[in-house]
Amino acid sequence: MAKVLIVADIKQGVLKGSTAELSSKAKAIGAETAVVAIGSNIESLIPDLVNAGSDTQYIADDPSLELFSAGPYASCVVDAAKQFGANLIWFGFSESGKAAAPRVAAQLDAACATEITDVTLDGDQIEVVRPAIANKVMQRIKVNTDQLVAVVRAGAFEATEGITGTENVVKLSAPETDLKAVIKELISDASGEIDLADADVVVSVGRGAKDQAGVDLVKELANDLQAGFGASRAMIDGGFMAHNKQVGQTGKIVAPTLYMAIGISGAIQHLAGMNGSKVILAVNKDPEAPIFNVADYGIVGDLFEVVPILREEIKKV
Ligand code: FAD
């Protein structure tokens, strides 16, 4: 039986939804499922870890693990993977996952794949699917090792409703570390704006908004919806928004329930960051704009006319 170890995604003491999504996929392929949770004062999360679908919970709880540092985190994952006998080790899509996954793979002498969107097992043979060349193609990769460490692309798997596991807690000791650099403090974005990666709704603005007044108009729509506010690279390069708001190949990858692309053409590099969204709504005055090829709902029109109407309609709901 395949054994999947999922690395719990914990942010500011809260277990993120990707853990249940990954457990659901693990169960769907008939695997035994364990989770490894790493941090400080995280034992209170054990019920959440069980409810997210794990049957064994490896807990590395130590003050030295409060702030993410790839080396110690990787050591904890390797420890749990060895104890569990995992042949698949999955990280949710996050900066910390991307930083720790290759270290874990190197220590286990395992294959490593990032941004996977699917995984299949045929006996011991593992195959994964991942996008390549800015999403122009999907690669199917046959893994030639017994173990695979993978970072799963945001939104690739869905959580099964009512998923649950069983409590079987195994405590891990804090890793011995001899770090050349120690992270002392994490300074978070002080703007108070919703993090794009966590947002259930994302509204993004493109060059069609023309200037700051246009950007502010679209931002008001985002505020009405309590949505994350993103942008195409054109608006970042134009100096209208900070780089951490860029959605796309060289920006953030998001997979919200609803993505609204306002005045964005739909260049392949932008699509690479948002085409995993569950529902896509696009507003563009050009009916031939490529964004309409991926949109579930399209409004052909001038955003300066459409956005105020959308705001009015949303207020009525
Ligand atoms: P445009 O392509 O100029 O499109 C503007 C759209 O607005 C048009 O479709 C137009 O019809 C519409 N419009 C104009 N006026 C109105 C109006 N009044 N009402 C409604 N619609 C209107 N881009 C990203 O976004 N993210 C990335 O991560 C990224 N990485 C890149 C990496 C590389 C290596 C390269 C080469 C490019 C990358 N790009 C990225 C840039 C990308 O190729 C596009 O140039 C960019 O996405 C275009 O942004 P845009 O759609 O806002 O602008």
Asked whether the beta carbons of 149 and 112 are under 8 A apart, the reply is yes
Quote the Cα angle for 78-253-292, to 5°: 150
Per-residue model confidence (pLDDT) at position 197: 81
Q: Model-level pTM? A: 0.83
Give the DSSP letter of residue 187: -
pLDDT tens readout for residues 111-137: 999 999 999 988 889 999 998 887 788
Identify which has the larger pLDDT, 202 or 182: 202
C-beta 204 within 6 A of ligand 1:
no
Ligand 1: centre distance to CA 312 (Å): 27
Ligand 1: centre distance to CA 230 (Å): 13
Per-residue model confidence (pLDDT) at position 114: 93
Q: pLDDT band for 293, please (50, 70, 90 cuts).
A: very high
Ligand 1: centre distance to CA 314 (Å): 26
Mean pLDDT (whole number) for 23-43? 95
Q: Whose CA is nearest to atom 49 of ligand 1?
A: 234
Tokens of 161: 């409703």
- Closest ligand 1 atom, residue 235 Cα: 52
SS3 39: strand
Ligand 1: centre distance to CA 231 (Å): 9
Q: Is 28 exposed, middle or buried (0-12, 13-18, 19+ CB in 10 A)?
A: exposed
C-beta 284 within 6 A of ligand 1:
yes
Return the axis-axis angle of helices 70-84 and 95-108, rounded to nearest 10°.
50
Phi, psi of 6 (to 5 degrees): -105, 130
Q: Whose CA is nearest to atom 18 of ligand 1?
A: 302
Ligand 1: centre distance to CA 241 (Å): 14
Asked whether the beta carbons of 291 and 262 are under 8 A apart, the reply is no
C-beta 250 within 6 A of ligand 1:
yes
Helical ranges in the chain per DSSP H: 18-28, 46-51, 70-84, 95-108, 212-224, 233-237, 268-271, 291-294, 303-316
| Residue of 133, 218, 250 with the most ligand 1 atoms within 8 Å of its CB, for mutation | 250
Q: Which of 21, 87, 88 is nearest to 53 (CA)?
A: 21
Please say whether the dihedral angle defined by the alpha carbons of residues 150, 152, 158 and 163, taken in this order, is positive or negative: positive
C-beta 275 within 6 A of ligand 1:
no
Asked whether the beta carbons of 195 and 189 are under 8 A apart, the reply is yes
Per-residue model confidence (pLDDT) at position 122: 87
- Closest ligand 1 atom, residue 206 Cα: 52
pLDDT-above-70 percentage for the chain: 100
β-strands 125-132, 118-122 pairing: antiparallel
- Closest ligand 1 atom, residue 289 Cα: 9
Of the given ranges (43-47, 166-170, 189-193, 224-228), which has the lowest mean pLDDT?
189-193
